[in-house]
Structure 1
Amino acid sequence: MPEYSYAAERADFQSLLSMGFSEIEAAQLVHMKDHVTEQTEYREILQESRRLDFIRWLIDHDRIRS
């Protein structure tokens, strides 16, 4: 997980304000940016778990051998 950087977040926030976003919109965009990585990691873990479940099913039903 990336380290929290208040300075970078503040710079992003200020940049968004200078582009014409409202404070609420800028705050939401910064929040989304900070959490996109977490969501990606979660999806990757979920996909890997499903692959392993499928492999277990194949082994349990003698479709492949371990």
Structure 2
Amino acid sequence: MPEHSYTAESADFQSLLTMGFSEIEAAKLVHMKDHVTEQTEYRELLQESRRLDFIRWLIDHDRISH
């Protein structure tokens, strides 16, 4: 994970430091917080894509009609 200069200016980063986290730990936690939403959205898109693929398979194999 690359270090970002904006991290040191973050209120979250400063708060984590005051709680006793090291700079490296705080930077990793801030990074994770910033990217967890992206990962959740990706997983949801992937699940939706799989559902649609399954529905397409059902239609293609005459298991259901549209």
TM-score range, shorter chain: 0.7 to 0.9
In structure 2, how many angstroms separate the alpha carbons of the residues matched to 1:33 and 1:14? 14
TM-score where L is the length of structure 2: 0.86
Relative contact order higher in (CA < 8 Å, ≥ 6 apart): 1
Partner of 1:3: none
Q: CA RMSD in A?
A: 1.1
TM-score where L is the length of structure 1: 0.86
Unmatched runs of 5 consecutive residues or more in structure 1: 1-5
Q: Which runs of 4+ in 1 moved over 4 A?
A: none
Partner of 1:19: 19
Residue 42 of structure 1, CA deviation: 0.1
1:10-60: CA deviation from partner (whole Å, max 9, x where unpaired): 100000000000000000000000000000000000000000000000000
Count of aligned residue pairs for this structure pair = 59
Residue identity (%): 90
Partner of 1:43: 43
Residue 65 of structure 1, CA deviation: 0.2
Unmatched runs of 5 consecutive residues or more in structure 2: 1-5
